Amino acid sequence: MNAMVAMRQYQNVNTQAQAVDASPHRLIQMLMEGGLTRIAQARGAMEREQIAQKGELIGKAIGIIGGLREGLDLNQGGELASNLDNLYQYMVARLLQANSRNDVALLEEVADLLREVKAGWDAIGQ
C-alpha cells in the first residue's frame, strides 16, 4: 500500500473518531480548520498549476463553508447569525472567483476572513 494512501486513510479514521467524541463547539472548530486546510491546499495546487486538484479543493472548501452556513440558526441567532450567513455567502462567491480567475489573493482573502471568524469562535470556548 502506498504510504500516502495509508496516511490519508489514517487521517480519515482519526478525524471521524474525533468528530464522534467532539462537542458541538469543537465540531464547528473542526469545520473551520478543515476549510482553512483546503484553502491552503488549493493555493498550493493553484501555484503548481494543478487545475483539477485546485478545483476539487476549492469545491471542498465551499462545501465546508456551506456546512457552517447550514449550522446557523437564523431564527434564534438574530443579527449575528444573519451577518455570519452573509459573510459565508461572500466567502463562497470569492472562492468561486478565485477558482475561475486562478487568483491566490482571493483565496487569501477568504482564509483571512475564516481565520477571523475562527478566532472569535475559539474565544467563546475559553
| Nearest-10 crossing angle of helices 24-47, 51-70 | 160
Residue 18: per-residue pLDDT: 60
Class of domain 25-124: mainly alpha
Residue 17: per-residue pLDDT: 53
Domain ranges of the chain: 25-124
Q: If the chain, 126 residues long, is cut into consecutive pieces of 10 residues, what is the mean pLDDT of each piece?
A: 42 54 86 97 97 97 95 93 97 98 98 97 84
How much is the pTM? Answer: 0.83
The H-assigned helical ranges of 3-103 are 3-21, 24-47, 51-70, 78-101
Shortest CA distance to 125 belongs to which of 54, 28, 35, 53? 28
Residue 3: per-residue pLDDT: 41
